[in-house]
Every structure is written in structure tokens, then in C-alpha cells.
Structure 1
Amino acid sequence: MRNRSPTQPELDEGIQTVFFQIANGNARQSCSVKTKFPTQQQASRYLRQNWNKIEKMARDCLANGTIEDGQIKLVML
């Protein structure tokens, strides 16, 4: 039996991070959500379905000054 190299979709599976931006006055604030989903498509769907809750969490972090390396980082594991 020959061992095969994993395909790109297999390499991409695992904990996924989705990036988005929110308005901050006249500027944009970069944000990310780390999810438990194995594919980027599932993680993106999660972001869309839970947008109101995620946006509120990001805005709360912005108001509190909880920014890492110029980015708001949320974790939903």
C-alpha cells in the first residue's frame, strides 16, 4: 500500500478562522473569528448565521480596547 500525500482540501480542514471588518467611524476595524468547524465554508456559514451576536461581541471588544496586533480576535470553540 502506497502512502499518499493529503489533498489541499484535507490540509485546509481543522479549526477555521474567518476574517471580517466592522465600521469604526470613518475607518474599518479588522476582526477574526476562530471557529470549531472543519471547513472554511462551514465557518463562513456560521459567521453569516450568527452575524448579530458576533458583531456585538466585536463592537464590545472595540469599546473596551481589547485589540491584539491591530485586530479584534474572537474565539468560538
Structure 2
Amino acid sequence: MKPKIELSKEKKAGIVESIKRYFSEERDEEIGDLAAMLILEFIIEEIAPIFYNLGVEDSHAYVGEKLDDLFGIMK
């Protein structure tokens, strides 16, 4: 089971507006709130976990390097 990414109402509204603006400016298409919300839900469910996991992997590697540095100062 994938963890659900939760966004505040305000953040969702802002992202929906960004999606609508993207379609308007980049694709010369007008989409409504429902279509933009469905795109956002797709991104949250299918794409965001990939980037989240990449962030976790990068954090793990960074912390691992710092631990190696810490063990390097042992006498």
C-alpha cells in the first residue's frame, strides 16, 4: 500500500490553478477545475511517490556519507 500524500486545501487550490495556467499558456487549452484536480490526483498517486523515493534515497546516501566521515575521526 502506497502512503497517501496529503495536501492542504490551499495547496491543492494553488496547484490546480498552476495546472490550469500551464494548459492555457503552454498548450493553448482551457481546462476546468475538475480536469485539473483529476490531473493533480493522478500526479499524487502515480508520479509523486517516485520523486519522494528518490529524495529518500538521496537523503540516505547523504547521511551515510556523513556517518562515514564521523567514523573516520575515530582514534
TM-score, length basis structure 2? 0.29
| RCO comparison, higher one (Cα < 8 Å, 6+) | 1
TM-score, length basis structure 1? 0.28
Greater share of residues in helix? 2
Greater share of residues in strand? 1
Larger Rg, first or second structure (1 or 2) = 2
